[in-house]
Every structure is written in C-alpha cells, then in structure tokens.
A and B are shown apart, each in its own frame.
Chain A
Amino acid sequence: MNAEQTPRTRGRIWFEALAGKYAKLVPSVPSVLVADTTLQNERVRFLAVVPDPDNRFPCARQGQVGLQEGWNLAKQVREAIQADEKGEKRAIVAIVDVPSQAYGRREELLGIFLAAAAATDAYVSARLAGHPVISLLAGHAISGGYLTHGAQSNRLLAFNDPGVMIHAMAKKAAALVTRRSVEELDKLAEKVIPMSYRVEDYAKLGTLYKLIDGVNVDSPEAKHVEQVRADLLAAIADARSGQRDLSSRLQSEGARKSRSATLEVRRRLAEQWNVG
C-alpha cells in the first residue's frame, strides 16, 4: 500500500513524530506499526494500531482492533520481553487511537476475544517483567479496542483535546444498548462522571498520570513533539521506580474522590478475607 492511500490518523501522526526518522521499523502487518528507537538513555518500542484499507478482514479496515491486530500486538510485545529477558528492560509505548474493536462474524468465529486476551496478556506480562509500559491516548480509546491496546499500562498519558475520547462504547452504540438518545446520554454524562465522553472528565477518575495541555494534536509542531517526548521520559522514569501492578491508578487524588467505593471494597474485603 502506498503512503498517499494511508489515512493520516492521529495514531500514525504520533507514531511517526515520536519514533522519529532514525527509528528502526520492525516488520509487521500494515495495521500494527512497530518501531524501536532511543529517547535520551531509554530504549523504547513504539506500537500503534492504524487503519489498513486492504486489511484481509473487512470489518477491521478503519483502524478497529481485530484478530490480526490483537495477535500481532501480542507478538511484538512478547518479542521485546524475550529479547530483553536478561538485560535492561526497554520501555514499551502504546500510541492509542482506536475507534473500537472489530464487529464482525469472522471475528467472533475465529475468537477475537482470545486475540484481545493475548495482547492484554502480553502487555501485563511486560509490566510484570519490569518493562515500563506507557500509553499515550492521542485519539479514540474505545471499549474492546482500548482494553486490547492501551489499558494495561503502568502510566497513562492523554492529550487534553476534544478529539480524545476514552469510553466503554461509542456513543451511537451506547445509545442503542441503553435505549437512550445521544442527547440524553450527553445530559446524563454531565452529572455521572464515568459516563462522560470528555477527556477532562475522564481525568477526574484519577487513572491518568498526566493530561497534556497545549499541543496541536492533529499537526504537531516540533516543540510539541519535544514536549511529549519529555513527558514520556518522565512517565518511564516514574514507572521504573514504582509498582509493577496498576495500583498507582488508585493512589491518585482523583481516585480518592471518584473511586471511593473501589477503595472501600478493597479495604473491607481484606478485613474479611481471613476471618471466620
């Protein structure tokens, strides 16, 4: 496929910008971009899922995360784990711009849920092995697409930009399933924070390490790219000195406010665990 036909999505824009022109491209399927590079002293493997109009799976041609994408993400993450088994663990950075998982018959028959599990497993295993795993939420991070690519990182960074949307289900589909109109959904989201489609509201849940301000996400200038590289390096350093599980998401100020029920469940279950 030639470059002119390739849609310039945020995933591709940020993959190319951050990896830089000296990055070593790792052979992969067209919908999963992989590059190894160095940011200051950190070796980094960048991964992005992008649209492939020629994808042999027709329901995964617009950047959806499907069978090929799940299994190939798993392969590329596992290769990094294996290559670094005895040495310094490189950072793994997922650039996230995924409209959804793929919705199709082929996908269900051939086990898209297992492909998603394989990528999930690989990202978690990388984290447990000591790799800093970082996600940059640059565009959409929806539902099964996000669970497969992005959700398992030690540190989550997102652009503070209206084009960034983290959600359990795309708006139209959510309206269908909950039997509400899109307008009703928007209104409800104003008072129920976890239902909101706005990234500023998502940030209130406390899962983000950083909300990045002041960047032109669709056509970044050189200084923006430098700023984001610095943010990534800070996140990598923070992940290296922190826990390998996802506990940092629960230690934030936002989590103390918005996820008090989660914290109470954890405290009280621990109390009851060995009693009786």
Chain B
Amino acid sequence: MSRATLLDSRQFLARKSFIELNARERAQALMDQGTFRELLGPFDRLESPWLPMQGVVPQADDGLIVARGRIGGKDSVILAIEGRFQGGSAGEVSGAKMTAALDLAHEDGEKGRPIQVVLLLETGGVRLQEANLGLEAIAEINSSLVALRQHVPVIGVIAGMVGCFGGMSITASLCSYLIMTREARLGLNGPEVIEEIAGIEEFDARDRQFIWGVTGGEQRHATGFADDLVEDDVEAVKKCIIEAFGLGIPSKHRSEQVDDYLKRLAAIDVSDQLECSAVRKLEWKKESL
C-alpha cells in the first residue's frame, strides 16, 4: 500500500479539510451517513478527577471520542483524540476509554463479530498532570492493541496539526496500518524537549522546515514508517481507511520485523549527524509494505 494518494486540481478545489474538524466531527465524517453513535459522550460526564485538583478545567469527555457506526458498510469503532484539549494528552479517563474500547472490540473479534478499529491520533503523549496514570494508560492501550490486532486490523491516522508524540508514537507504530497527511508529524520526543536535553546543534526546535523534514508525514511515508500519505480531505482519508481495511491483517506487522530493521540499523553509518535526505536514500522500505 506504499503510495501517496494525490488529488488533481478539480479534486483539490472540491476537498473538505479533515484537519480543520474537531475530534467528534472527524469521527462523524468518517462514519457512513446516519450510523454515528457516540459512547461515553459529554453527557456521561466522565472527566478527569486529577485536573480540578490542579486548577485545570476538565472536559466532560476528557478529550476522547468513542464512536460506533459503519465505515464502508462494516461495523466500526473510531477512537478520536481531541488535540484541542490538553494537547490531546493521555490521561486516566481518556486512556481508559481507549483501552476499554479496544478490549470490547477484542471480545467481539473472538466471538466472530469483527469490528474495524480506527485510531485518530492527535496527541503529545502522556498528560503530565496525570503523569504516572497517563504512562500506565499508554502501557495498557499498547497491550490491548497488540492483543486486538491478532483478530482485526487496526488503522492509525495522524492528520495534524498536533501530530503524534510521546508514548502514543509507540501506539501509532503498533497499528496494522498507519496513515498520515503532509501536515502531520510523528516522533517519540517533542522537538523542544530534544533541544533542551541534547542541544540546539542536535535539534533546532524553531526550524520548522527541519522539524517537518524529520517528523513530517512525507518523510515518514518515504522512509516506510507510515503506509500511506493522504491529502487533507475527508473523502480521501475515508477512502484510504477503507482500502487499508481491505488489505486485512498484515502477515507481519511492522513492529514484528525485527531482523529486517536490525540489519538496516547495522548498515547505517551514524558516526556523523544524519540528514533527512540521507535517510530517505536508505533501504528502509520493504517491498511488501
């Protein structure tokens, strides 16, 4: 599935931005017309017990939308992170919503009722105000995700503009297929933190061209860390998700390709600092991806 989905000029003008939508609107837009149903929505008022203790206003959905419905006519669940609430960070409640939904989808998969699972990832990683419970939440999400993807493919989408960082970048890399836009970024460490710890020579957090060069969707797709590069368009994103589901469960998930990646790592000269363009020339991509 390694190819970029590009639009011609007519399609470009007719597109509807996916990035501009909030998490709930994104889930609504992806579900087939009239099938969207939100679970544990704002009226259930499951919010962070930890934020008010610190004078931070909580949100009634804790920034995580759980939606059931149909995508391309098939039973689906979308877990959409709201990047506009606390940077999309994983707290106790938002993390528990994700893990619980993955576990329920897993149970259904075991009973022969497969549910397609889509993760819309807009997150800086662990919510530092909930620190260890955010960290634990991500550990549990990752555990449930690996168990679930034995039964159904799990599609990750990073659309932007927050991107996907911290522990959640590990979650993204555990997905069966990962879709990104050019505006999206993927990285373990945020640029500011790398600059602070390793120095500006190592990482210049103010150099936007450099940041996107390292972490942006185009680079991630070119170097095989994302399967598909998609335009910022609702229909294009939906089409791409349906195509990915059509591929079924990968014979070997990216995170299982240990020998291949170790060989590639061994072959790279890292004695000097690496440039983005040099990494693109490496044989990162597997033909079958």
Instruction: Please tell me if the beta carbons of B131 and A169 are within 8 angstroms of each other in the complex.
Output: yes
Q: Bits for A4-24, please: 1 = Cβ < 8 Å to B, else 0.
A: 000000000000000000000
Tell me the chain B residues, 127-182 only, with Cβ under 8 Å from chain A.
128-140, 142-144, 146-147, 166-167, 169-174
Known: A124-B146, A246-B139, A270-B100. A101 touches B189 (CB 8 A): yes
Query: Once bound together, how far apart are the Cα atoms of A147 and B50, in whole Å?
Result: 22
The residues of B that contact A166 with a CB separation of less than 8 Å are 132, 135
Instruction: Please tell me if the beta carbons of A276 and B96 are within 8 angstroms of each other in the complex.
Output: no
Q: Does A143 sit at the interface, judged by CB under 8 A?
A: yes
Give the interface centre of A117, A147, A151, A195 by most chain B CB atoms within 10 Å.
Answer: A117
Instruction: Please tell me if the beta carbons of A269 and B101 are within 8 angstroms of each other in the complex.
Output: yes
The residues of B that contact A210 with a CB separation of less than 8 Å are none
Known: A109-B276, A110-B268, A144-B166. A128 touches B173 (CB 8 A): no
The residues of B that contact A262 with a CB separation of less than 8 Å are 92-93, 95-96, 133, 137
Q: Does B18 sit at the interface, judged by CB under 8 A?
A: no
The residues of A that contact B53 with a CB separation of less than 8 Å are 191-192
CB-nearest residue of chain A to B191: A108
Q: Bits for B233-256, please: 1 = Cβ < 8 Å to A, else 0.
A: 000000000000000000001111
CB-nearest residue of chain A to B225: A111
Q: Does A264 sit at the interface, judged by CB under 8 A?
A: yes
User: How many pairs of A and B residues are in contact by the CB < 8 Å rule?
Assistant: 242
Instruction: Please tell me if the beta carbons of B274 and A205 are within 8 angstroms of each other in the complex.
Output: no
- Nearest chain B CB to A197 CB, angstrom units: 9
Instruction: Please tell me if the beta carbons of A114 and B261 are within 8 angstroms of each other in the complex.
Output: yes
Give the interface centre of A113, A176, A249 by most chain B CB atoms within 10 Å.
Answer: A113
Chain B contact patch, size range: 35 or more
Q: Does B57 sit at the interface, judged by CB under 8 A?
A: no
Instruction: Please tell me if the beta carbons of B270 and A106 are within 8 angstroms of each other in the complex.
Output: yes
Q: List 20 A-B contacts (CB under 8 A).
A: A106-B273, A110-B265, A112-B188, A113-B172, A114-B254, A117-B174, A121-B174, A121-B255, A121-B256, A148-B170, A192-B54, A194-B133, A207-B136, A245-B144, A246-B143, A260-B49, A261-B93, A266-B103, A269-B101, A276-B68
The residues of A that contact B274 with a CB separation of less than 8 Å are 105-106, 109-110
CB-nearest residue of chain B to A141: B135
CB-nearest residue of chain B to A255: B136
Known: A112-B188, A114-B173, A177-B128. A205 touches B265 (CB 8 A): no
The residues of B that contact A194 with a CB separation of less than 8 Å are 50, 92, 130-134
